[in-house]
Amino acid sequence: MRSRPSPDPRVDAALLNARPCVLWFDDLERPIPNESLRGSLRADLVVVGGGYTGLWSALRAKERDPDLDVVLLEADVCGGEASGRNGGFCSASLTHGFANGIARWPREMPAVLRLGRENLAGIENTISAYGIDCGFEPTGELDVATAPYQVEGLVEAEQAMSAAGCKVTLLDQSEVRAEVHSPTYLAGLFDPEVAIVDPARLVWGLRGACLDLGVRICEESPVRSVREGEFRRIAVGTDRGAVQARRVILATNAKPVLRRLRLYTVPVYDYALATEPLSAEQLASVGWANRQGVGDSGNLFHYCRLTRENRIVWGGYDAIYPYASRTHPKRDQRPATFAALSRHFFETFPQLAGLRFTHRWGGVIDTCTRFCAFYGVVKDRRVAYAAGFTGLGVGSSRFAADVMLDLLSHRATERTELEMVRRRPMPFPPEPLRYLGIELTRRSLARADARQGKRNLWLMAMDKLGLGFDS
């Protein structure tokens, strides 16, 4: 159980000089944006969105057919939203974790697990083939228990995952603390099928690969309309131009272009901090020789990882939904959340007292009621979309790109035949029920964390319906 908020000068001092910007963007090698779209273009395929999903879609389309004319339109700069500011956990999971997948699609899980492993291998191969310098480290991830009830959950998870052929390892208290020295860690479950990356540099590397293959990328080109065009083409309009294309991929996630997608996703604010680089002595005090990504098992969970400079990126916990899905840049900075994250950090690593945070940031991701991506096509199967990644899109976005390209090809594949691809999640209710339901769920999850995992009637009802709220 986390301590109650209280004034702590050490916490305040740690945040005092933290810059309100994303660590990953604070990089001298950040590319110069391409020019925005001006005038009219024609293309075979238009990709809307320059995050992971859009860039993978453009890249995979050119790899399938080098002669395909592809235009990518990005509202800001490539990676300027969730793809460039996440924790950089690149997982083989396509279902936001094993438990979520096995609960929803038990018969398909053997195939989904295999496809996820193949997808992660494909990401690593692409990074190698195009020489993408993104610090890809196949370190695996530790899911750690910080409360006794979570230890039982890890034991059950290990049994279920091992039975399904996952090569996970259960660690007791002494074993997990030998890996990462924290007095709060009671047990751990190690999953080797996770890598960590510098998320922005992965974006920039994919962007560069797309440009090298001939993809035309127009940044600072927000799409305002997707409608029927001339000669059975789709017209994609921006403020200063338009592209007529035979096929369109929508990869905008938390900021959907199609009105219908606003029923199925909601924006959620996620926040993170980054420390100054650890000295050799500080790093020795936390161990972490194997550099795994780490996430705790709470409902309101934290994640952390080491960067190439041996900073610690520490994020999660709060998942804030704005009423009526109203997002605004001012919400990217939330002092109360940063203070809570700072306090939790030093509870987890008390030996690092005196360490300072250099960066603090936040922004929206999208989530849906099933916690993982869903897919679809509209306009006579000429427009495909994927959305709802719920914070685990670094790896699964490549799979989503292949799904959308398969759907646009009008041919059945193993991917398109999956129930998880063919069916959409349950939509969120309209406001104010949406906000009230999400807030009730969020507060109930926090209460469950404080009561050794005991779920109230609301959460039990949500469990039975297969619904929830997550980040």
Q: Which residues pair with 42 in a beta bridge?
A: 244
Q: Which residues pair with 295 in a beta bridge?
A: 143, 303
> How would you list the strands of the sheet with 357-367, edge to edge?
169-171, 187-191, 141-145, 293-296, 302-306, 312-316, 266-275, 357-367
Q: pLDDT under 70 in the chain at which residues?
A: 1-7, 468-471
Distance spanning both ends of the chain, measured CA to CA:
20
Q: Is the dihedral of CA 267, 374, 252, 210 positive or negative?
A: positive
Q: What is the largest CA-CA distance in the chain?
A: 67
CA–CA distance, 328 with 104 (Å, rounded to integer): 34
- Determine which helix (DSSP H) or strand (DSSP E) holds 302, and give its type and residue range: strand 302-306
Q: What is the pLDDT of residue 102?
A: 96
Q: What is the pLDDT of residue 3?
A: 44
Which residue has tokens 């997990």?
176
Q: What is the pLDDT of residue 467?
A: 73
How do residues 370-413 score in pLDDT, each as one tens digit? 999 999 999 999 999 999 999 899 999 999 999 999 999 998 99
Q: Within 10 Å of residue 163's Cβ, how many Cβ atoms?
A: 9
This prediction has a pTM of 0.95
- The amino acid present at 232, given as its one-letter code, is R
Q: Is the dihedral of CA 257, 370, 201, 296 positive or negative?
A: positive
Joined together, the tokens standing for residue 115 give 């496809």
Q: What is the pLDDT of residue 1?
A: 40
Q: What is the pLDDT of residue 327?
A: 94
**How do 266-275 and 357-367 pair as beta strands?**
antiparallel
Q: Are 403 and 386 in contact (CB under 8 A)?
A: yes
Q: Which residues pair with 89 in a beta bridge?
A: 196
R_g of the chain computed on alpha carbons? 22
Render 175-226 in DSSP notation, one character per residue: HHHHHB--TT--EEEEESSEEE--HHHHHHHHHHHHHHTT-EEE-S--EEEE
User: What 3-state class would DSSP assign to 170?
Assistant: strand
Q: What is the pLDDT of residue 468?
A: 65
Q: What is the pLDDT of residue 7?
A: 62
Q: Are 469 and 319 in contact (CB under 8 A)?
A: yes
